[in-house]
Amino acid sequence: MELAEVVGHLAGLRRFPVRGLGGEAPDEMHVQGAGLAGDRVFDLYDEAAGALLSARACPLLLRYRARYLDPLVRGDDLKPWILVRKPDGDEVALSDSAWLDDLSKRLGRAVRLRPRPEAATDDAPLHLISAPTLRFLEQQYRGPLESQRLRANAYLELPESRAFEEDRWIGRQLWIGDVLVEIVRPCEGCVVATLDAETPERSPGILAAIARGRGGRLGVHARALTGNRLRVGDPVAIID
């Protein structure tokens, strides 16, 4: 018989419809395939260079935020459900070229949107991080470090655990509510943590804190095996 020990609860969820842009934090969302429905399904490209745009190279991207009209959306054609909020607060449909024109003008180069080809085949699309890990980093940084900056999908409160406890779960399985998750590997190179999600300014102190903490590794990559929906407040239980 399968035994599971409850070790905490799901304290937060985040999803990023367009990789590189700011995202959303609904209280619940569907699981689709191995990850969250609608997470990182589009990419932005520098049209002239034919290169992927990232928040590391273009911090301005973080001032544009994408969200779904319905947090519980799922399916293969999600573009009609996505809205983008520009830095001036105006919100338009993802299909509206106005926000891309605005971004292109600010960056001084043409930017295009395209579906992320590997979104459906990523073997471990979920990024999980624990509250003890964040608290440790805050001690190193000597200041608050919001979980949103780390662009993790799931933020786990583990009252009795220590920092980087999630690293000990590699190769194990856990339940988050009714979703069975397998922990696959550590998440390395959390570069966006050096950027402020609100004012996209570089924060080298955060990067130094991460380097001191665990060589740049923050959280773990995981995949969903079974289950339908994740909800903030769901219990987290490790399978023995």
What tens digit of pLDDT does each residue of 108-138 get? Answer: 999 999 999 887 788 999 999 999 988 887 7
Dihedral through CA 218, CA 220, CA 221, CA 222, nearest 10?
-160
Cα separation, 59 vs 50, in Å, equals 19
- DSSP-derived 3-state class of residue 101: helix
Torsion angles phi and psi, residue 219, rounded to 5:
80, -170
* pLDDT at res. 146: 67
| Degrees to nearest 5, angle at CA 178 with 19 and 33 | 40
Torsion angles phi and psi, residue 145, rounded to 5:
-135, 100
Q: pTM, whole model, 2 decimals?
A: 0.90
* pLDDT at res. 12: 94
* pLDDT at res. 18: 96
Strand ranges inside 55-194, DSSP E: 65-68, 82-85, 91-93, 111-115, 126-130, 154-157, 173-176, 179-186
* pLDDT at res. 141: 74
The pair of three-digit structure tokens given for residue 161, joined into one six-digit string: 């655990």
Q: Which fold has domain 4-15+122-239?
A: M1 Pyruvate Kinase; Domain 3 (2.40.33)
Residues of the chain with pLDDT under 50: 1, 191
Cα separation, 47 vs 99, in Å, equals 15
Residue 134 · residue 144 · CB < 8 Å: no
Domain definitions of the chain by residue range: 4-15+122-239, 28-115
* pLDDT at res. 49: 85
